[in-house]
Homo-oligomer: A and B are copies of this chain.
């Protein structure tokens, strides 16, 4: 249902960069349409200028968190305005979400750990 990012963590550069934290609670409607659009939006986001990566998880409870990473606030604004993305946002409000919250933040430091012997992140 998701794309190649599933099962991996985003490989982002040294901070600073920007993170959009999108947390949502799903309705129980249209799981198929939602999944297809979510995958398509991940694919499309990855083609935008300034895109650095994405991480996504949704629990059985219906809570989902998607974090996308960008080089600048301008790159985030541009992605927000892409036509297909605007359509997906509208469909989300009409069908898929009970509520959501979007937080735009500036990543100031990060730290990565990997189990010894673990294959490098894809």
> Does A6 make an interface contact (CB < 8 A)?
yes
Complex: A111 Cα to B10 Cα, angstroms:
24
28 example contacts (A-B, Cβ-Cβ < 8 A) are as follows A2-B61, A7-B63, A8-B25, A10-B101, A19-B21, A19-B105, A21-B67, A27-B115, A57-B58, A57-B63, A57-B65, A65-B67, A98-B114, A99-B118, A99-B121, A100-B112, A101-B111, A101-B112, A102-B110, A102-B111, A103-B107, A104-B107, A104-B108, A104-B109, A105-B105, A105-B108, A106-B106, A106-B108
CB within 8 Å of B: which residues of A? 2, 6-10, 12, 15, 19, 21, 23-25, 27, 55-59, 61-65, 67, 73, 93, 97-115, 118, 121
